[in-house]
Amino acid sequence: MSALRNLFNQLIDYAGLFPPASLELPQVVANYARYLEEDWQWMLARLIVPALKLRELELLTTQLPRTNKSWLISALLPPVSDPDFARGLAEIRSFNERGRGGDHNYLVDTIEVSTPSVEHLEVLVSHIPSDISVFAELPWRDHQPHFEQIARIREKGRSDFFAKIRTGGVQTDLIPSADVVSNFIWEAKSHAVGFKATAGLHHPIRSEYRLTYADESPIGLMHGFLNVFVAACLVDQHKIDRELTTELLLDSHADHFEINQEFVGWRNYQLDSPAVRHARREFCISFGSCSFTEPIEDLQHINIL
């Protein structure tokens, strides 16, 4: 595929249930089913659903027209310290048993879970089936022990164990600084751990936006998904250092980015299509967004799509 396709292929996990969209599950399911049939479906990755809502999801899918499209689902689990953790795992297991081979081929192949301590990671390894990938959400700071533990887990055979960073929210204090995001990317690379991002990445380029869709919503300086993923691709290929990574994350000029069939570039730094493909597959996996259409429309607005 072209460099552009490799950069955006299966980039967006659809999380319409969550703020600021906060849609009801029937609407989210209908949206996801529609997105799978549209021209930009190649940019769509997983549907994000809490594990405790899987039964409701299953009922809703039976009401949709039959399709040969597979539904890959990332289920959000409560932390291992939550009494509902075991219940969530049971729901995933039974959901997958019923979903294989039905009218709608749906499957939870990924789980996401907050891991405020290293001990949470150790418990996860012993409970999550080996055929389900794990994205462990790490704290912004003091996460080096987490990365060290995830690296050990991967070395022991769980190569499907990844990290996750929360890059925004509906309040300004939920948005990490560029230094924090840069440090996270570099820690991930230095420990050979792939990652995904979630929240606050509706727009491709870093700038000020309303934090919700309400007219009177507060305005915050939000990270751009193009900033984050181009930075991660360049770090993966050892093209930029920590200082330049932060500088890239802070860049609010769309014309500094060039994404085309031949390469992905920022200023004078470029990656060819195979390098982008490797980075996306092995290192910077995807990001969760409560909107699938808004990122696409913004990319069209800046003449990248």
* pLDDT at residue 28 in the model: 97
* pLDDT at residue 290 in the model: 96
For 141-154, letters b (16+ CB in 10 Å) and e give eebeebbebbbebb
What residues of the chain score a pLDDT lower than 70?
100-104
* pLDDT at residue 33 in the model: 94
**Integer CA distances (angstroms), 60 to 27, 47, 64, 110, 190, in order:** 10, 14, 7, 20, 43
* pLDDT at residue 223 in the model: 97
* pLDDT at residue 101 in the model: 60
* pLDDT at residue 63 in the model: 85
* pLDDT at residue 69 in the model: 82
* pLDDT at residue 102 in the model: 59
* pLDDT at residue 104 in the model: 61
Q: How far apart are CA 56 and CA 95, in angstroms?
A: 11
**Integer CA distances (angstroms), 255 to 125, 159, 251, 266, 301, in order:** 44, 37, 10, 9, 12
- At residue 154, the 3 state secondary structure works out as helix
Which amino acid is located at 200 in the chain? Answer: G
To the nearest 10 degrees (0 to 180), the angle between helices 225-236 and 273-282 is 100
